[in-house]
């Protein structure tokens, strides 16, 4: 009878270590696969677009990256924030010197004459606008703008609005709670809410937030003197807006493909979450129309949007969602695969029209606004 081989302690430990390493690698592969699947699902990669929903549209030449649009319905002036987002993000030589601006479109003119006109003052010199918001009350009319200066210190710039939309700089606001600002909504002459789309300033940290679907984004409130976190645990907070009475806050959560609703205390500024509306698309900026309905520019396929960010020739589907808060109805009124507009960021209503902005390309689209709500 052959003698059974006796394994030395060293051989046993070596096999045990190899086994542990093997199982660890397998577990890591499984975890990465699951996380990758979760991110792709959250980004709309597996969502098919069954049909396009067309509108009657025409393009207005614009500056690169007309990312946000706010319409002053009282004067018929549309304010547009613009910055050459792609060159700044790429860090190409000279990117640090690129300055963005605020532009207006006089909607009182015949449509064939609609064009962008610059209204940005010389201050602040280092100005790269993102989300914007209008405020009128207490005898003043102002524009608030998120800015990403080359210094890396996030700011909200406040401007007085003069004749024809011309801007005069009032103040620059900074705060320790301004981490990665995206959008802003004015609440008073010098008070506002803003979204931090990530919980870190680090680009690697932002990537980890996104890939792991970490709810590190938040909403911050600045009362005119100091800033504080008003709402947290949001998955990529993006657009933000207030109801007409100032008691309901709308916040889009891009990677949740949803819009969060909060009760707002007008006296203290405190927010309390009370509902989430699942929209099934990557929601961006939120526009509130005079009748209270909301228009949201959205990315149904965020992976395609990332591809478009790297290569303008690659199309990114663009969608406009309309929400009727009073009836709790929501649906799509515009959906394009990207040939007409790629990387939409905002839909601002004006009567039976809507102005569509985008993150990268130098065009604003003027389209008819359908009242029919459709699934996609």
Q: What is the pLDDT of residue 374?
A: 87
| Band (16; pLDDT cuts 50, 70, 90) | very low
Give the ranges where 43-130 is alpha helix by DSSP (H).
85-90
Tell me how far apart the alpha carbons of residues 342 and 305 are, in angstroms, rounded to a whole number: 8
pLDDT computed for residue 42 by the predictor: 57
pLDDT value at residue 99: 85
Q: Write out pLDDT tens, residues 284-332.
A: 999 999 999 999 999 999 999 999 999 999 999 999 999 999 888 999 9
Its sign, for the CA torsion 154, 229, 265, 234, is positive
Q: What is the pLDDT of residue 160?
A: 98
Residue 276, number of CB atoms within 10 A of its CB: 13
Residue 258 pLDDT exceeds 80: yes
Residue 176 φ then ψ, to 5°: -65, -20
Average of per-residue pLDDT across 21-40: 46
Percent of the chain predicted with pLDDT > 90: 77
- Kindly state the helix (H) or strand (E) to which residue 167 belongs, with its residue range: strand 167-173
373 contact partners, CB below 8 Å, separation of at least 6: 322, 324, 329, 330, 331, 332, 333
CA dihedral 208, 92, 308, 127 (to 10 degrees): 80
- For range 241-248, the mean pLDDT: 98
CA distance 132 to 82: 10
pTM over 0.85: yes
CA distance readout (Å), 146 to 2, 4, 233, 326, 374? 81, 75, 21, 30, 33
Given this model, what pLDDT does residue 140 score?
Answer: 94
Q: Which of 280, 276, 290, 292 is nearest to 319 (CA)?
A: 280
Q: Minimum mean pLDDT among 50-64, 99-113, 134-148: which range?
A: 50-64
Structure confidence at residue 228 (pLDDT): 98
If you average pLDDT over every residue of the chain, what do you get? 88
- Beta partners for residue 117, in sequence order: 104
Return the pLDDT at 17.
Answer: 42
Q: Ramachandran region of residue 172, left (φ > 0), alpha (ψ -120 to 50) or beta?
A: beta
Contact 255, 243 (CB under 8 A): no
Higher-pLDDT residue of 52 and 46 is 52
* CA–CA gap between residue 284 and residue 10 (Å, rounded): 59
Of 35-44, 143-152, 297-306, 329-338, the one with minimum mean pLDDT is 35-44
Give CA–CA dist 197/236, Å, rounded: 5
d(CA 123, CA 222) in angstroms, rounded, equals 21
Supply 62's token pair.
């614009």
- The Cα–Cα gap between 345 and 355 comes to 11
Is pLDDT of 2 > 50?
Answer: no
**Beta-strand runs (E) in 235-352:** 237-242, 248-253, 258-264, 271-278, 282-288, 294-299, 318-324, 329-336, 344-350
Token look-up 């390493």 returns 21
pLDDT over 90 (residue 48): no
State the average pLDDT over residues 220-245: 98
Q: Is the pLDDT of residue 88 over 90?
A: no
CA quadruple 334, 61, 345, 191: dihedral sign: negative
> Domains of the chain, with CATH numbers?
43-368 (2.120.10.30)
Write out pLDDT tens, residues 166-214: 999 999 999 999 999 999 999 999 999 999 999 999 999 999 999 899 9
Cis peptide, bond prior to residue 124, ω within 30 of zero:
yes
- Name the pLDDT band for 83 (thresholds 50, 70, 90): confident
| DSSP-H helix ranges across the chain | 9-42, 85-90, 203-211, 302-310
Length of the chain: 376
Confidence at 10, pLDDT banded by 50, 70, 90: low
């Amino acid at each position: 009878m052959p003698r059974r081989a006796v394994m030395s302690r060293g051989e046993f430990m070596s096999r045990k270590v190899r086994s542990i390493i093997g199982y660890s690698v397998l577990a890591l592969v499984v975890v990465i696969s699951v996380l990758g699947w979760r991110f792709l699902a959250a980004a709309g990669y597996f969502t098919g677009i069954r049909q396009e929903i067309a509108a009657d549209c025409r393009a207005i030449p614009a500056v690169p990256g007309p990312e946000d649009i706010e319409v002053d319905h009282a004067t018929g002036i549309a304010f547009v924030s613009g910055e050459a987002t792609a060159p700044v993000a790429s860090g190409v030589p000279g990117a640090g010197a690129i300055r963005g601006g605020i532009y207006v479109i006089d909607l009182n003119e015949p449509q064939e004459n609609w064009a962008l006109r610059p209204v940005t003052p010389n201050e602040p010199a280092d100005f790269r606008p993102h989300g914007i918001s209008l405020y009128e009350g207490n005898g003043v009319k102002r524009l608030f703008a998120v800015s990403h200066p080359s210094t890396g210190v996030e700011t909200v710039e406040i401007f007085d609005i003069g004749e024809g939309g011309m801007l005069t700089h009032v103040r620059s606001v900074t705060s320790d709670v301004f981490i990665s600002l995206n959008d802003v909504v004015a609440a008073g002459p010098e008070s506002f809410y803003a979204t931090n789309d990530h919980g870190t300033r680090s680009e690697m940290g932002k990537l980890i937030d996104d890939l792991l679907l970490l709810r590190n984004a938040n909403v911050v409130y600045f009362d005119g003197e100091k800033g504080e976190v008003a709402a947290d645990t949001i998955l990529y907070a993006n657009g933000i807006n207030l109801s007409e009475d100032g008691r309901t806050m709308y916040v889009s959560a891009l990677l949740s493909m949803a819009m969060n609703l909060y009760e707002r205390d007008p006296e203290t500024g405190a927010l309390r979450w009370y509902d989430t509306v699942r929209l099934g698309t990557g929601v961006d900026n939120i526009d509130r129309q005079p009748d209270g309905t909301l228009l949201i520019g959205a990315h149904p396929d965020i992976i395609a949007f990332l591809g478009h960010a790297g290569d303008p020739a690659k199309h990114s589907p663009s969608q406009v969602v309309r929400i009727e808060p009073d009836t709790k109805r929501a649906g799509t009124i515009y959906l394009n695969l990207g040939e007409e507009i790629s990387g939409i960021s905002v839909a601002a209503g004006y009567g039976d029209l809507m102005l569509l902005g985008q993150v990268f390309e130098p065009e604003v689209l003027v389209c008819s606004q359908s009242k029919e709500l459709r699934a996609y």
